[in-house]
Structure 1
Amino acid sequence: MTATLIERLSAIVGAENVLTDAVAMAPYLVDWRGRYHGAARCIVRPDNAEEVAAIVRVCLAAGVPIAPQGGNTSHCGASVPDTSGTAVIVSLSRMNRIREVDAANNTMTVEAGCVLQTIQAAARAAGRLFPLSLAAEGSCQIGGNLSTNAGGVQVLRYGNARELALGLEVVLPSGEIWHGLRGLRKDNTGYDLKQLFIGAEGTLGIITAAVIKLFPLPGTVATAWLSIDSPAAAVRLLGELQARFGAALTACELISDISLGLVLKHIPGAQPPLAASPDDPHALRTPWHLLIELSGTGEEADLRAACEEFLGAALEKGWIDDAVLAQSGEQAARLWDLRERLSEAQKIEGFSIKHDVSVPVSRIGEFVERAGAALQAAYPGIRIVAFGHVGDGNLHYNQSKPEAAENAEFMAAQPDVNRIVHDIVDALGGSISAEHGIGQLKRGELAHYKSAVEMEMMRAIKRTFDPLGLMNPGKVL
């Protein structure tokens, strides 16, 4: 059966685009974190939506599961198949064309395999901004970003991927193509079908192209690093920044000293913006830090001067311990590099139990305090790596033991650690997944915290679109 299937797939995309060799397939079968390892019959690399549709029809006729894959940067195991070896991985990496840039309409039409960084560059070349920005932007692909409803550091001003998409082209589990590539801000003609596929992690169909929103390119940016004493202080500063600067506040990122310490330990050349002592360049002034960015279309001097004035007043009022305002684009990039290398530094440090949670912004401080106390009581000496997007209530909240040798045993405690963290999140009216999705990692947790009504509505949608359950099985539901 597999031999016949591969022959039929090769007839669609060419034999060179059907990978069956173990070495060639290996990178597609493990997730970025190295936690999930799958198996597959083959890797198929289509060039266009029609080829994707033909692949789906062949797999449907054979009853073969399909695992769509973009840049394979998932944190929840959504991008790799299970270990049965029955699935065909459909890699969208060859579908990487920018079909159109409509500067007057502030839209861009892109194929699913376009790397996020490439899209950002194309927007800048047209004098526009595509604001989705995250640490994996050099390798993640827009199809995956939409399939997981990616967030990133500029959600505060521009919204999640869901808010940045106007239209989609999708291959359905039936092998039909939905041509929904509309660049309209207003289209009140029934159900907003694209929203079913955004965040569905490839379980309802394969996104092959999208019309995405562009924005005016900011003419001026002010970036600052603040030393603060607590998450509660960060929430207060967020409110003051919003009251003073409104929509000009683009990003507001919270970083713990433990998180920053891992970057200083593992990333060559990394230096803290505000060291506590000249004798110890890695010593940090405070237990928490805030990275803020303002952007606008006005005069650079005016925005920087206003930011400097705000920071001076915050220092006088005791809201912050110290601050540094970037004096150049290069210095701003160095500040952002500290933030963006956090996940990489954690990966180098070793496995940890990861949580991507959200709570109401007003309750961030309460969450950190309650969860920290409960975890320390249950696991004395636990190390908590906390950072995230304070502007939208999303924290990456990860746990490990300081000594790597202790982590194997600690990882076995993940169900109990999850219950401590997620119960507090739930009690505070939060979500167990803010921007990483569900994948394989959180299927059980989703069923635990979603109501029976919500779960049945989701299953009903899945049955309607994919009655045979062949589209990315084992993910979400």
Structure 2
Amino acid sequence: MSLNSADTAFANLLTEHLPEGSVSQTEPRYLEEPRGRYNGRDTFLVRPETVEQVSRVVCLAARERVGVVPYGGGTGLVGGQVSSEGPLPLLLSLERMNSVRAMYPAENVLICEAGTILADVQSAAESVDRLFPLSLASEGSARIGGNLATNAGGTAVLRYGNTRDLCLGLEAVLPDGQIWHGLKRLRKDNTGYDLRHLLIGSEGTLGIITAATLKLSPRPAVSGTAIFVVPSPEAALSLLAVARDRLGEMVSGFELISGQGLRFLKEVLPDIRQPFETTPEWSVLIEVGLVVGMDPQAALTGVFEEAAEQGFALDGVIAQSAQQADDFWSVREHIPEANKRVGAVISSDVSVPLGHIPEFISVGKQLIAEAGSFRINCFGHLGDGNLHYNIFALPGEKASDHADKRAQLQCIVHDLADRLGGSISAEHGIGRLKVDDLQRYGDPAKLSAMRAIKSALDPMGIMNPGAVLKITC
């Protein structure tokens, strides 16, 4: 069924049913996305303050057959929040729904609205001596509704899981305007299909998340951070095994850093303090959160000594203060910014089984070399198999010089990840960027089921049209 554009008549209709100031023309910041791959079009923006107002908007959109694009913090990297084709959709921002509704520290539970900024959720948890462990580079602007809609990952997945694993319940508006009141605080609720997990990761194509019941954790009594130099990705995996054998689930972060990434930092962000005078080709950032009575210095020293005896670690620095730990993390967290300043030919977000990571890195390097002369910055969340595999032009060249090879290079990376039993989208979702990739690499039975679900819940196709699944006439 074809959609209609969000025109002035539709905006006037919304204005009749919503408080003054709820509807406006979009500002430029709502029409951009971090990588600059998509440009939105001037349309109407609605900023509701309650779930009932969201319901009214969706009911009217369904009645008038107008597409709705949910907007969180605008930090998504696959174009899910920006529509550049088809009839003009309505942009629906959750930014005014940003309250923490309730906290139950004895239950390790927090309930907040979808427009709450992730850093504010973390602060609210800290105020009751609890931890909300989702941690992203964009946590100062990303909103929890978008984190849930994309099932965001981040640096602590190894210990705490993806956003999906941190959610107990949802409140959401479905495509027909119905409000689903699912904000239960239960760990066990075995009453049929789990709509919570269906909506998480659906990127706004099956409904609009308006609030969530989130799972908190006790704060670690003490924490420790270190950077160890390793001779290879294979050794990094062996180091991970040593760390987990010694410390179990107390290993909360394990990040692989390539020498190319550190050289980019020196080139474009020289003020970022690096721990080694000579840039190592491979290093690992490790963070541990320990229980009462444990010494993080001793724990990390023990990991290093055992790994060094077996040749898995060559050098290392253990943070001696909170500031030094922050400096270590600053190195890791500024690598994406350095990549952006250098300018990538392609950027990939893939995952492969842990045992295949060394093969993926070595074979990928060979295949890219056969396609041309490039620099590769491969880094990421080694503990959960998620690698950010980015390809750059040589010094003196520009990324645009290789525009004709982008599709070929992306295909090389995705084909290899798929062949090794991996995924072409580990933590950033499908959005609009990877719709064709999903068609190419997705399991046919899964895609058929996804289309059936979309058709059943959103028969008019008004929810984030063009995202995740191809629009079919």
Q: Unpaired segments of 5 or more residues in structure 2?
A: 1-5
Cα distance between partner residues in 1 of 2:42 and 2:170: 28
Give the alignment partner of residue 158 of structure 2, picking from 156, 159, 175: 156
Q: For residues 299-331 of structure 1, what are the alpha-carbon distances to aligned partners after superposition, in whole Å with 9 as ceiling and x for unaligned?
A: 35x232121122133234322121000001111
Tell me which residue corresponds to 2:3.
none
Deviation of residue 84 (structure 1)?
4.0
Tell me which residue corresponds to 1:166.
168
Cα distance between partner residues in 2 of 1:196 and 1:317: 45
Tell me which residue corresponds to 2:51.
49
Tell me which residue corresponds to 1:178.
180
Residue pair 1:41, 1:85 contacting (<8 A) in 2 also: no
Deviation of residue 263 (structure 1)?
2.2
Cα distance between partner residues in 1 of 2:369 and 2:161: 34
Give the alignment partner of residue 69 of structure 1, picking from 50, 59, 71: 71
Give the alignment partner of residue 474 of structure 1, picking from 458, 461, 466: 466
Tell me which residue corresponds to 1:198.
200
Q: For residues 28-51 of structure 1, what are the alpha-carbon distances to aligned partners after superposition, in whole Å with 9 as ceiling and x for unaligned?
A: 111111111121421111111111
Cα distance between partner residues in 2 of 1:118 and 1:315: 40
Residue pair 1:350, 1:404 contacting (<8 A) in 2 also: no
Q: How does 1:44-443 map to 2 (within 5 A)?
A: 44-84=46-86, 86-276=88-278, 284=279, 286-299=280-293, 302-379=295-372, 381-403=373-395, 405-443=397-435
Q: For residues 165-218 of structure 1, what are the alpha-carbon distances to aligned partners after superposition, in whole Å with 9 as ceiling and x for unaligned?
A: 000001011011111001110111111111110000000000000001000011
* 3-state SS, counterpart of residue 16 of structure 1: coil
Deviation of residue 350 (structure 1)?
2.2
* 3-state SS, counterpart of residue 398 of structure 2: helix
* 3-state SS, counterpart of residue 412 of structure 1: helix
* 3-state SS, counterpart of residue 207 of structure 1: strand
User: Aligned in 2, Cα 1:340/1:138: closer, same or farther, shift over 3 Å?
Assistant: same
Residue pair 2:98, 2:113 contacting (<8 A) in 1 also: yes
Deviation of residue 414 (structure 1)?
2.1
Cα distance between partner residues in 2 of 1:110 and 1:353: 36
Residue pair 1:82, 1:474 contacting (<8 A) in 2 also: no
Cα distance between partner residues in 1 of 2:377 and 2:315: 22
Deviation of residue 267 (structure 1)?
2.5
Cα distance between partner residues in 1 of 2:17 and 2:354: 50
Cα distance between partner residues in 1 of 2:14 and 2:94: 15
Which amino acid in structure 2 is aligned with residue 400 of structure 1?
Answer: F
Which amino acid in structure 2 is aligned with residue 408 of structure 1?
Answer: S
Give the alignment partner of residue 32 of structure 2, picking from 24, 30, 34: 30
Deviation of residue 61 (structure 1)?
1.4
Q: Does 1:2 align with 2:12?
A: no
Cα distance between partner residues in 2 of 1:432 and 1:458: 17
Size of the aligned set, in residue pairs, is 464
* 3-state SS, counterpart of residue 19 of structure 1: strand
* 3-state SS, counterpart of residue 346 of structure 2: coil
Give the alignment partner of residue 19 of structure 1, picking from 20, 24, 32: 24
Q: Which moved more, 1:124-133 or 1:343-352?
A: 343-352
Residue pair 2:242, 2:306 contacting (<8 A) in 1 also: no
Residue pair 2:344, 2:391 contacting (<8 A) in 1 also: no
Which amino acid in structure 1 is aligned with residue 46 of structure 2?
Answer: V
Which amino acid in structure 1 is aligned with residue 9 of structure 2?
Answer: T
Cα distance between partner residues in 1 of 2:446 and 2:10: 37
Cα distance between partner residues in 2 of 1:406 and 1:331: 35
Cα distance between partner residues in 2 of 1:30 and 1:404: 28
C-alpha root-mean-square deviation of aligned residues, in Å? Answer: 1.4
User: Aligned in 2, Cα 1:303/1:87: closer, same or farther, shift over 3 Å?
Assistant: same
Which amino acid in structure 2 is aligned with residue 343 of structure 1?
Answer: P
Residue pair 1:40, 1:85 contacting (<8 A) in 2 also: no
Residue pair 2:58, 2:177 contacting (<8 A) in 1 also: yes
Residue pair 2:261, 2:335 contacting (<8 A) in 1 also: yes
TM-score, structure 1 length as denominator? 0.95
Deviation of residue 295 (structure 1)?
0.5
Which amino acid in structure 2 is aligned with residue 221 of structure 1?
Answer: S
Q: Which moved more, 1:290-299 or 1:209-218?
A: 290-299
Cα distance between partner residues in 2 of 1:12 and 1:248: 51
Cα distance between partner residues in 2 of 1:385 and 1:291: 16
Deviation of residue 15 (structure 1)?
4.2
Deviation of residue 266 (structure 1)?
2.4
Residue pair 2:273, 2:327 contacting (<8 A) in 1 also: no
Residue pair 2:435, 2:467 contacting (<8 A) in 1 also: yes
Cα distance between partner residues in 2 of 1:131 and 1:101: 16
Cα distance between partner residues in 2 of 1:339 and 1:171: 37
* 3-state SS, counterpart of residue 388 of structure 2: strand
Give the alignment partner of residue 438 of structure 2, picking from 446, 451, 457: 446
Residue pair 1:355, 1:397 contacting (<8 A) in 2 also: yes
Q: Which moved more, 1:423-432 or 1:346-355?
A: 346-355
* 3-state SS, counterpart of residue 444 of structure 1: helix
TM-score, structure 2 length as denominator? 0.95
Residue pair 1:264, 1:271 contacting (<8 A) in 2 also: no
* 3-state SS, counterpart of residue 345 of structure 2: coil
Cα distance between partner residues in 2 of 1:305 and 1:70: 42
* 3-state SS, counterpart of residue 413 of structure 2: helix
User: Aligned in 2, Cα 1:216/1:202: closer, same or farther, shift over 3 Å?
Assistant: same
Cα distance between partner residues in 1 of 2:205 and 2:16: 26
* 3-state SS, counterpart of residue 320 of structure 2: coil
Q: Which moved more, 1:397-406 or 1:330-339?
A: 397-406
Residue pair 2:269, 2:338 contacting (<8 A) in 1 also: yes
Residue pair 1:63, 1:470 contacting (<8 A) in 2 also: yes
Percent of matched pairs sharing the same residue: 44
